[in-house]
Amino acid sequence: MVENNLLSIIIFAPLAGAVINWLIGGRLKNELFSGVVACGTILISTVVAFYIAFGAGGGALFIDKPVLDQLWTWIQVGGFRADFGLGMDHLSGIYACFITFVGLLIHIFATGYMKGDPGFYRFFAYLNLFMFSMLTLVLADNFLLMFVGWEGVGLCSYLLIGYYIKRDEARKAAKKAFVMNRIGDWGVLIGVFLVFTLTGSISFYDKSIDGTQVHSALSAFAQMAQEPFAWKAIFAGGITSAAVLLFIGATGKSAQIPLFTWLPDAMAGPTPVSALIHAATMVTAGVYMVVRCNAIYQNAPTAMFIVAIIGCATAIFAATIGLAQNDIKKVLAYSTVSQLGYMFLACGVGAFIAAIFHVMTHAFFKALLFLGSGSVIHGMHHEQDMRKMGNLRKYMPITFVTMGMGWLAICGIPIWAGFFSKDEILYRTFAASGLPPNWNYILWIVGLLTAVLTACYMTRLMVMTFLGSERFHETVPETAHAHDPAHAEENAFATGDAHDDESHSAHYAAHPVHDDDDQDDEHHELPADFRPHESPWVMTLPLVVLAILSTVGGLVGIPYALSSMFGAGDLNVFERVLEPVIMHRGAAHEPTKAENGEAAKSAERAETAVSPKAAEHEPAAVHDPEEISTERKLAGLSVVLAIAGIAIGFSLFNSNPLRRLPKILVDKWRIDELYNGYIVDPITNLSREGLWKGFDVGFIDGIVNGIGHFVMELGNAVRSLQVGYVRSYAALILLGALAVLGYFIYYGWRLVS
Amino acid sequence: MDFLNNNLLTVLIVLPLVAAVVTLVYHAAAKNENDLKWVTLGFTLLNFLVSLALFSKTAVAGASGFFFEQNVTWIRSINTNYHVGVDGLSFWLVILTTFIMPIAVLSTWHAVEKRSAAFYIFLLLLESAMIGVFVSLDLLVFYLFFEASLVPMFFLIGIWGGANRIYAAVKFFIFTAFGSLLMLVAIIALYYAYANIPGGTAAGTFDFVVILNALKMGTLTFAPQTGMLLFAAFAIAFAIKVPLFPFHTWLPDAHTEAPTAGSVILAAVLLKMGTYGLMRFNFALFPDQARETAWLFITLAIIGIIYGALVAMVQPDVKRLVAYSSVAHMGFVVLGMFSFTEMGMQGAVYQMLNHGVSTGALFLLVGFIYERRHTRDITEFGGLANVMPVYSTIFVFTVLSSVGLPFLNGFVGEFLIMIGMFQSHVLGITASVNWNYIAAMLAGTGVIFAAVYLLWMVQRVFFGKVTNDKNRTLSDLSWREIGLMVPLLVLMVYMGVYPKPFLSRTTEAVKALQERVMHQAGGTIERTGLTDPLNK
């Protein structure tokens, strides 16, 4: 066990920043002070995270055992124990590094973006609080502390989406996000119960605290036998159930079907928030959890299959919606949902490392694209509708070029980061062996189609924003929309989404004059002599850094099949680092070994899952020439398809950027309406009319009051008393109590005699 | 100091009575209503300080496992004793009572418009009765305190309540008095059952410890039907107090009409009498019956959790919303108790305290806005965060604690209760379904709904633009109001981050109770072969 008390600095520095900004920054109202505190504390986290990951004692990313830091025992009752303890192993090390680094860049960007905002200090307090929660999530050494971070990021997301508190759409989106996440949290919580019931522990690592041995729940799972593929295993209360329950949580946090609808609405928050929370970090927490629990998932093939299906379906579903959106942030939001689908597809087919690889490259290029869109929105005076942009490359060259890098990366053009990670996922899907027959091909084809769509809608975004003619002053053609805001306010879950792009334009058509009372209202008519402008350096610098990372960041994970084409050896550093985190069944490559020595093998499995040590003993992955050639062919195919997607995008939208798209896509397949109509409204109505007014007030109180009335009438009839309400009650209690008392006295009497 | 150590619990009970007398005399002499609140505040604070002596490390438990025990003959002819003592189960509830009282008094600073002497006297009488309930070890004395707590609350609602106060007060009184009358019958039955132990002294007793020992030794036994009836009599009394679905309908009315201080005390302490009573008396005296009927209580608790949340969701009145949320939260407490696992029961005891702190705080906050606007209708508000930032921040923080956000107090209790239920064996486990799992999963949905109803209310009251002109000029919290919230906010964080000091005090009592219900009763104790008094 390696201990390093510096680990807690990574999480507590941002917390300190949040507290300072809240208490002192709120009084000073000095942007420089707040900005320096916020960025400075994240800088401390970043330095410490990189130091522990790469420097201290050989670097947490390279040594066998996780670096641990036990702070205090949080809850200990009976056999249950949850520590406030941190741990950095290879997986959380990679996460901590990119979260702090990307987080730092976004913090710097935000100091420019939020300039002049009256809630500047509040914004950065929340943002720092988010970093604290997110880092707690990934550095937690047990399920429950991870859940603390899990809920914490949900809270910060709630606070930041609702940051513009005066805007209706923001507060509704905030609550929707929190509630949908909560539905997922239910799954995580029950999943943790089941994990504890099955293994007697909730710890991720083996460790000893003050002489008490705590064993790892994950290694306990690794030692269990695989549950055979069967649908009923989901409800059996075994490994599959645990895996499915945890995945429910992941669908909430990572915006997968069916809980994805909050993420596009979450774009109501400030753009740096969208970049940090709703693209780069928080939404990948679900992927983190699934990979962290890969020992559970690998022993539950049914759950793996579900993960793959949901991921794949979400990927293509969100991509189709993204194609038809006009709000630049909405396009990116659906793109994020779609890319997260890819990551779950990877998890589902057992390519956990590829999933994490895509998480990292996606963090680079999606943060870049969001910040780029933020720069555009900033330059366009808070205009988000792409139909009113065009030809911005003339005014915002740096933003244009850097976003171009992000565009190439997400489309999957070779050497840009997205190519390697996405291609790895598609290849591993194609070659997957754990699925029911032929499903690997179905998933692969859908994945390819999604890649084409991705290239297509991203090209549309670039064309509408940066190319073509200037449309700053054009009025956008109105389309009738059936949203009823009053209705959305009616229901408690507020999945009502009355703030898409149409209602934006409707909004400022109705209010051409800036409302002085509402400083946060961002929608207004652009002045006639309006010229977009490039953003200041604090905003463009992070763009440039992220553009470089999006371009070359994928090179840490070049698969052997591609690097060997150029005579290089195995350059896949990323895979080698993460290998020890993944439990090895050995099924894919050595199917024959399954029979003999099951006991010995399960022991070995356990060790590989727990301690990275075993990885060193294993020979480097064997490279089968046939596999290599397949992988190369598939890589070629995906490049061709990516280029085809870009070409389709250009041919469709270059000449006609405002091309009308199918209404069902513009309406997002009407999922919100479905949820409202069939889930939210019925529950609300049942509660109001059925439970409250019907049962509570009508039935129970009806009985009580009814007896009261009856007694009153009785009293009236005999006229022996002047009867009022109070007395009738007294009579009631007398009557009822006497009856029951009589019964008991009867028994008492029998006791005595 | 010795005097205090020997009579600590008595002092805690008597001090508020002394204060009431002082208030009365002062009022008669000085005729100055304005100073009364200072007198009351001083005495409640003093009582809180005295109660801190409970933490004394030198205290030793008596043979019966109770600390600060006192046993004095009261009425010799019926063999009833003034017997008080405190153990892990009641320890924090006593502290909670003395802690919440000064806060409740402070909250009334400008709110009592008429007859303030009577108001404060009732508050003090209430405190005395509540402490008495938690420390009594004689069933008759317990019953008297239990009933005595009813009267001051009845008047607090009926005199200083809202528009519909008479209805609410009477409803409150009738529901609870009905239950406690049943309990009285059961207590008397126990007295005679003890007197009829063959070979015994032929003297009955109301002493809880004596009866419990007789049950443990097996000298006192009940026929199944008798046992169930006695159990039911106690259980109904406490279920109404909790309140457990479907006995809950008195609560929303009582809460909504009660003055702020009344609501705070009602939520923080009075409801706990029900859950405390279930654990103290029903579990200890009738473990077999408790185990056999656990399915019923668990079902009602789960219905309460979901039902309370759904009905809370559609309430137009903020206070009524919080009241219904109480039904849901107390459902969690009952669920944890009846899981009969150490985790679940510890969680239940912890959740009693959490609910006292969080819901008490919510009622205070609702009171603040009511004093300013004289309405609690959600539609009257909107955008308050723009006008009252401090108030809004504190409110949202309290809501998060009530929602059960990790690292705030509510989470620890709810988590322990649910994992305890999940691990329980009290419900059936068949080859295809484990009903304990189902129970925990259903209870878990309550956590989702809590977020829905509270955040929806927050969204409508605090966020958005100020739509009602009357809200534009509202003043933010005064230092007095902030000051009385701060201890509660600190507790929310402390109890969420470091629950160990709280949990460790309750461990032993809870463990003993859990073992009694799950292991001792129903087999392991050797029956003495005595016939049941009923069947001889």
pLDDT for A730: 55
Tell me if B419 and A700 make a contact (CB, 8 A cut-off).
Answer: no
Q: Per-domain residue ranges for chain B?
A: 293-497
Q: What is the pLDDT of residues B405-414, one digit of tens each?
A: 999 999 999 9
| Contact A747/B at CB under 8 A | yes
Provide the residue count of chain B. 536
- Domain for residue A493, yes or no? yes
Domain endpoint, select from A122, A139, A156:
A139
**Of A139, A157, A179, which closes a domain?**
A139
Neighbouring CB atoms inside 10 A of B508's CB total 14
Q: Which residue has the tokens 């006297």?
A: B121
Residue A509 pLDDT exceeds 80: no
Number of domains in chain A: 3
Interface test with A, best of B249, B396, B402, B424 (most A CBs within 10 A): B249
Say if residue A504 is in the same domain as residue A554.
yes
Is residue A660 helix, strand or coil?
coil
Is A296 within a domain?
yes
Q: Which of B121, B152, B113 is nearest to B24 (CA)?
A: B121
Out of A297-301, A523-527, A748-752, B460-464, the most confident range is: A297-301
Report the pLDDT value the prediction gives residue A740, as an integer from 0 to 100: 66
Chain A hits for B313, Cβ within 8 Å: 492, 684, 687
Angle, CA of A688, A693 and A698, to the nearest 5° = 160
Compute the average pLDDT of residues A681-692.
80
Answer yes or no: do A693 and A551 share one domain: no
- Asked if A178 contacts A171 with a C-beta cutoff of 8 angstroms, the reply is no
pLDDT band for B181, please (50, 70, 90 cuts): confident
> What gap in Å lies between CA A213 and CA A490, rounded to an integer?
53
pLDDT of residue A41: 95
**Maximum Cα–Cα distance for chain A, whole Å?**
110
pLDDT of residue B415: 94
pLDDT in the model for residue B95: 94
d(CA B229, CA A748): 11
- pLDDT value of residue A749: 63
Percent of residues, chain B, with pLDDT higher than 70: 96
Based on the fold, state whether residues A127 and A165 are members of the same structural domain.
no
Six-digit token string for A277: 């929370």
The mean pLDDT of B35-40, rounded to a whole number, is: 85
Has residue A718 been placed in a domain?
yes
Indicate the residue type of A387. R
Which pair of structure tokens corresponds to residue B231?
A: 């159990």
Do residues A638 and A742 both lie within one domain?
A: no
* CB count in 10 Å sphere of residue A187: 21
Mean pLDDT of chain A: 81
Assess if residue A79 is contained within a domain.
no
Q: Domain check: are A183 and A210 in the same one?
A: yes
Lowest-pLDDT choice from A420-429, A586-595, B264-273: A586-595
Among A124, A139, A154, which residue terminates a domain? A139
Tokens of B301: 């608790």
The pLDDT tens digits of the residues spanning A533-583 come to 888 888 888 999 999 988 888 888 888 777 777 776 777 788 888 888 888
* pLDDT tens track for A249-270: 999 999 898 888 888 888 888 9
Interval B359-399: pLDDT, tens: 999 999 999 999 888 888 888 888 888 889 899 999 999 99
CA dist., res. A323 & res. A424, Å (int): 24
Tell me the shortest Cα–Cα distance from A468 to chain B, in angstroms. Answer: 38
CB–CB contact A748 B422 (8 Å): no
Contact at 8 Å (CB) between A137 and A152? yes
Is residue A605 in a domain? no
Q: What is the pLDDT of residue A570?
A: 74
Task: Say if residue A130 is in the same domain as residue A202.
Answer: no
B465: which chain A residues are within 8 Å (Cβ-Cβ)?
Answer: 166, 517-518
Residue B332's pLDDT is 95
Q: What's the average model confidence in pLDDT over A13-37?
A: 89
A493 touches chain B (CB under 8 A): yes
Are B157 and B172 in contact by the 8 Å Cβ rule? The answer is yes
Nearest CA in chain B to A154: B405
DSSP category for residue B82: E
Q: What is the pLDDT of residues A149-195, one digit of tens each?
A: 999 999 899 889 988 878 888 888 888 888 889 899 999 999 999 99
The tens digit of pLDDT for each residue in A622-670 reads: 677 888 888 888 888 888 998 998 998 888 888 887 778 888 788 887 8
Q: What is the domain extent for residue A43?
A: 1-69+85-139
A734 — pLDDT class (breaks 50, 70, 90):
low
SS3 A699: helix
Same domain, A364 and A427: yes
Is the model's pLDDT at A471 over the cut of 60?
yes
Question: Do residue B415 and residue A687 have CB atoms under 8 angstroms apart?
Answer: no
- Give the pair of three-digit tokens for residue B369: 């806005």
CB–CB of A190 and B444 under 8 A? yes
Cβ contact (<8 Å) for B497 and A74?
Answer: yes
pTM of the predicted model, to two decimals? Answer: 0.87
The CA distances from residue A747 to A380, A742, A753, B342, in Å, are: 85, 9, 10, 35
- Which two structure tokens, joined as six digits, stand for A279? 């693209």
DSSP secondary structure code for residue A381 in this structure: T
d(CA A156, CA A273): 10
**A613 domain residue, yes or no:** no
Q: Which of A370-374, B5-9, B334-338 has the lowest mean pLDDT?
A: B5-9
Tens-place pLDDT, residues A204-261: 988 888 778 888 888 888 888 888 888 888 888 889 999 999 999 999 999 898 888 8
The rounded distance, in Å, linking the Cα atoms of B31 and A453 is 83
Q: What is the mean pLDDT of chain B?
A: 87
Percent of chain B with pLDDT over 90: 47
Question: In the prediction, which pLDDT does A733 show?
Answer: 59
Stretch 513-552 of chain A: residues touching chain B, C-beta under 8 Å: 517-518
Q: Which residue has the higher pLDDT, B45 or A437?
A: B45
User: Residue B466: which region, alpha, beta or left (left: phi > 0; alpha: psi -120 to 50)?
Assistant: beta
Nearest to A178 among B434, B451, B453 (CB): B451
Question: Is residue A147 less than 8 Å (CB to CB) from chain B?
Answer: yes
Q: Is residue A334 in a domain?
A: yes
3-class SS of residue A235: helix
pLDDT of residue B283: 92
In a domain, A551, yes or no: yes
- Helices then strands, counting H and E runs in chain A, come out as 32, 5
- Tell me the per-residue pLDDT of A41-99, one tens digit each, with 9 for 90 and over: 999 999 999 999 888 777 888 888 888 888 888 998 888 889 999 999 889 999 999 89
Residues A709, A563 share a domain: no
The whole-number pLDDT of residue B459 equals 86
At B85 the three-state DSSP class reads: strand
A283 and A359 assigned to the same domain? yes
Best B183, B396, B415, B425 member to test A by mutation, with max A CBs in 10 Å, is B415
Question: Which has the minimum average pLDDT: A131-135, A137-141, B264-268, B470-474?
Answer: B470-474
Of the two residues A493 and B131, the one the predictor is more confident about is: B131
In this structure, the answer to whether residues A541 and A659 fall within a common structural domain is: yes
Residues A446 and A368 in one domain: yes
Residue A96 in contact with residue A8, Cβ under 8 Å?
no
Chain B, nearest residue to A191 by Cα: B441
Asked whether residue A219 falls in the same domain as residue A297, the answer is yes
Q: Is residue A127 predicted with pLDDT exceeding 90?
A: yes
**3-state SS, one letter per residue, for A636-648:** HHHHHHHHHHHHH
Whether the bond into A258 is cis, omega within 30 of 0: yes
